[in-house]
Amino acid sequence: MKQDLTSTNPFRFIDEILAQQSVNLLSLNPQKTLITSFAELGYLSAEKNIDTQLLITIQSTLEDIVHAQLQSFPENIFWDFDFMVSSMLRQALVADEGAVMFLTYFGKKMVSLTDMFGIKTDIRFRYVHDFMYGFEWARWVQKDPQTRAYIEPFSLVFLDYLLAKGKELLQRINYGQVISYKLCDTGYRNPFSFSREPEDEYRLLTNLAREKLIPVTTWNWNAHPVWNKPFQEKRQQLALKLNIQPQRH
């Protein structure tokens, strides 16, 4: 049975959760300030003529991911989800009869990833930006573009890589082997030399977005991820240009 969202939209519940938490739902889209609502993402999903069970599973998967981000990244700034939703939907449809199982795996991996890199563990990153906007994915692809260029930023393959990287980073932290991931005086880890305080992070990322230096434009349902630009170098250069101060430890 196909799902019609004209009368009721379960995705609205996620918008209500975020409103209750008083989250400032900023988008990195240079053309607007706030994100696409989850209610609207629900309508976009329903337009693909998927059945009711699949739509319900997408909504519950997103709800779990949003809950995890709220808990592990309470100071997160940018909250775009458009491309992630279209990507998980597209991958689910390719899985055909295994669509619900794919979404279950996807949701569990995203929640595990969020829990691992946020404030619940010793990694203690402050934002989800590097994962949601593809900076980590672009770095990964650049190491082996022939093999990895066609692997999606939200594929299970790449999520597994991030989970393995997180486990390795936790081990290195526990053994005192980290150099570039020291705790800042704010209690968060910052692998960059420049400050990522909220006002600095906002200024840097919005400027990167305007200059088309975001690998995955997650605010765009039909985004085309880009890996073959020197994103890390440009990020460092722009931080200098904007006079963002060195990170204090």
Confidence of residue 29 (pLDDT cuts 50, 70, 90): very high
The mean pLDDT value for 161-177 works out to: 92
pLDDT at 2 over 50: no
Task: Give the per-residue pLDDT at 249.
Answer: 55
To the nearest whole number, what is the mean pLDDT of the chain? 93
Distance CA 24, CA 37 (A): 12
Task: Give the per-residue pLDDT at 6.
Answer: 52
Dihedral angle computed from the Cα positions of residues 52, 105, 131 and 117, in that order, rounded to the nearest 10 degrees: 130
State CA 50 to chain mean position distance: 24
CB 148 within 8 A of CB 199: no
Distance CA 153, CA 159 (A): 8
Residue 40 half-sphere exposure toward CB, CA atoms < 13 A: 11
Q: Which of 74-78, 178-182, 211-215, 216-220 has the lowest mean pLDDT?
A: 178-182
Task: Give the per-residue pLDDT at 5.
Answer: 59
Task: Give the per-residue pLDDT at 246.
Answer: 78
pLDDT at 1 over 60: no
CA-nearest of 235, 200, 201 to 129 is: 201
Q: Which of 63-72, 172-181, 235-244 has the lowest mean pLDDT?
A: 172-181
Burial class (CB in 10 A: 0-12, 13-18, 19+), 37: middle
Task: Give the per-residue pLDDT at 186.
Answer: 80
Distance CA 145, CA 155 (A): 16
Say which residues have a Cβ less than 8 Å from residue 22's Cβ, sequence separation at least 6: none
Give the Cβ contact number of residue 69 at 10 Å. Answer: 23
